[in-house]
Amino acid sequence: MTGTTSPAVSSPASAARCRVAIAGASGRMGRMLIEALRDSDDCVLAGALDVPASPAIGSDATAFLGHASGVAITADVAAGLANADVLIDFTRPEGTLAHLAVCSRLGVKAVIGTTGFSDAQKAEIAAYAQRNAIVMAPNMSVGVNVTLKLLQMAAKAMSTGYDIEVIEAHHRHKVDAPSGTALKMGEVMAEAMGRNLKECAVYERYGHTGERDPSSIGFATIRGGDIVGDHTVLFAGIGERIEITHKSSSRSTYAQGSLRAVRFLAGHRTGMFDMFDVLGLK
């Protein structure tokens, strides 16, 4: 089995660099990741994957940057991963699971930013992590993960007397709601307060809803335009409100966080990790 690889992969100067494959290489996030790899001193692009119907299949993965890398975008997952140490995947649940099956066979680690997994699919990913190390997080941004830590602290201090609402906004093309980041915020706060998010989450309100359950965590979703990602958690008490907000203006924050996850995986052969592990926030 052969694949098209970057000359940088085999050059002496880059022998120690981590070889990274990108799934969804022609998409918005895929291109941001490829650009981050180009600017990295210790990671190099080694493979680029996309769906068979993509018009980018066969083209050079860095053509959009105005130069050639020697890495062609392919729909052949095995060929695209043949020279990689780590796959970064921000695609769809079904696609990610298909990629992980090949990663498992080839011994390739993974950084997963895909959201919308079912519990059964998360269990499949955990099983893969017993063979190859995986970092999975709904948001790879360093700032978002610091925000999650702040929410954990706030929820412990305001577990009673405050109503909690999570408001998130994303671009019109996002297909899952609430966002994976919003759900992670809810999970972190629920756990900090000794609650189960599945039991206390309220995702819809319409008509005569009755009074608010003080133990609930509410979610509101906004979709429109080109919003990269805004998340606000409101703690509403009597006489005061506290808002903790994170706003993304560029996907570059997700790309840089993903590369930090790649570097973290260099020290781990197996295991399931998240960005709290990567950033030392646990």
What domains can be seen in the chain, in order of their start residue?
A: 7-136+252-279 (3.40.50.720), 142-248 (3.30.360.10)
pLDDT along the chain (282 residues), means of 10: 38 68 96 96 97 96 95 98 98 97 98 94 97 95 96 97 98 93 96 97 96 97 96 98 95 94 97 96 87
pTM of the predicted model over 0.75? yes
**In this structure, are residues 180 and 170 in contact, taking their beta carbons and an 8 Å threshold?**
no
**Active site amino acids:** 170, 174
At 16 the pLDDT is 77
β-sheet with 134-136: strand ranges across: 73-74, 43-49, 18-22, 86-89, 109-112, 134-136, 272-273
Per-residue pLDDT tens over the stretch 108-150 = 999 999 988 999 999 999 999 999 999 999 889 999 999 999 9
Sign of the alpha-carbon torsion through 48, 35, 69, 265: negative
Whole-angstrom CA distances from 87 to 43, 101, 262, 275 are 12, 12, 9, 16
For residue 199, what is the enclosing H or E element?
helix 197-200
